[in-house]
Amino acid sequence: MAKQFDVVVIGAGPGGYIAAIRAAQLGMSVACIDAWSNAKGGPAPGGTCTNVGCIPSKALLQSSEHFEQAGHHFADHGIKVEGLGLDLPKLLGRKDTVVKQNNDGILYLFKKNKVTFFHGTAAFAGQVEGGWAIKVTGNASEDLVGKHVVVATGSSPRAFPGMPFDEKQILSNEGALTIPEVPKRLGVIGAGVIGLEMGSVWRRLGADVTILEAMPTFLGAADEQVAKEAFKALTKQGLKITMGVKIGEIQSGDTITVNYTDAAGAAQTLAVDKLIVSIGRVPHTAGLNAEGVGLKLDERGFVEVDADCKTGLPNVWAIGDVVRGPMLAHKAEEEGVAVAERIAGQHGHVNFNTVPWVIYTNPEISWVGQTEQSLKNEGRAYKAGTFPFLANGRARALGDTTGLVKILADATTDEILGVHIVGPQASELISECVVAMEFRAASEDIARICHAHPSLSEAVKEAALAVDKRALNF
């Protein structure tokens, strides 16, 4: 007999597991189904983010940053390092430990919140009395019925046409996390978040890294001033970034040869030992039986939803990477909470205008809201204030003064319209700005708030002061 639940969540990535927990907190009976497995075949909830994305990449970024600091910057602090070496298997093993800790943490949270977890692949079996029949295929098959179903199946890496991932030479984000030896020459196609972060990891560890990007401008979604500052810093570190390329034939053998045309139209060739392809991600709906139950997908393969994440099927919802909007873990989490609350009759809310973006390179790059380019394009009058970390006392003490904070505010009302940061701990500094924008604060509000001294957050205050041309320390 099928097991009955108020809510069945398909997928235990950031959106799915959060949706399941929040629904359980609201008093509903909840099942969550996830197919990710660890090396031993056991459950590994957390989706791409935990297993082959956000979490392991940050672990490698941290380890590689320590290696970089020890090899190139500790001497500035009077710390002598002799005989510096790299134990790559241990470094990768630490990453795996961090991932497992997060997997286990999610399983604990399911138990704590009385969410029933099923390890396997889920598919719609049809509409039945009491809701939707869901078939779980795994070590043990299960038949479930959910009054409500939340699809949170995430996304998969997009392969280069005619060149599938083998995760040995042609690497997705997954293979980029497990290269067994530091390659002498590493190629990256795509100068987005994954390309820049993984390129940074392996450059720090000793690889000669070349990044090829089709777009004519670097980080076109970011504020142009911040993007230029980031490009200057990253190329100074040794990343070779070429913009405006058109990739041609890729030949794979002992050496991978990438034929491309540069921005000037000249034919070029890049020979590398490993190639990371990071040209975007595609929604993952394979195996759901979407067509069989009439779950509509758009022309790009995303599950079609309305503003509340409702699909065209009664009591079926979809969230995260599998629907429209930015493919960000924290966006998926917010949608998961909002959908659980809507199912419970509450008024869940997600404000796409205040979803922050972060690239965890060094310097870190973060932003929220509008850019100077977008404001100019819509003809909106604005004021801008910037403050460099070069003039921040804490940044000087850290020995990391690269970058700046930039605040954009409405010319008339002074409401903050966007904040852009490139520099140390930008991923943490952006949160103050997200809060301010959620409350529709003015730049004057941040300028009048007392910030601890010395702290990096003072750069945010000074940028707010600079909007009114009254910065105190620059």
Q: Which residues are catalytic?
A: 453
Give the count of beta carbons closer than 10 Å to the beta carbon of residue 344.
17
For 155-222, strand residue ranges (E) read 155-157, 170-171, 185-189, 208-212
Phi/psi at 426 (5° precision): -60, -30
The DSSP letter of residue 21 is: H
Give the count of beta carbons closer than 10 Å to the beta carbon of residue 444.
15
The DSSP letter of residue 38 is: -
Q: For residues 211 and 46, give the distance between their C-alpha atoms in angstroms, rounded to a whole number.
A: 29
Helix ranges restricted to H, 130-213: 173-176, 193-204
Check: CB of residue 244 under 8 Å from CB of residue 118. Answer: no
CA end-to-end span of the chain, whole Å? Answer: 71
The DSSP letter of residue 442 is: B
Q: For residues 9 and 12, give the distance between their C-alpha atoms in angstroms, rounded to a whole number.
A: 8
The DSSP letter of residue 2 is: P
Tokens, residue 132: 């939707």
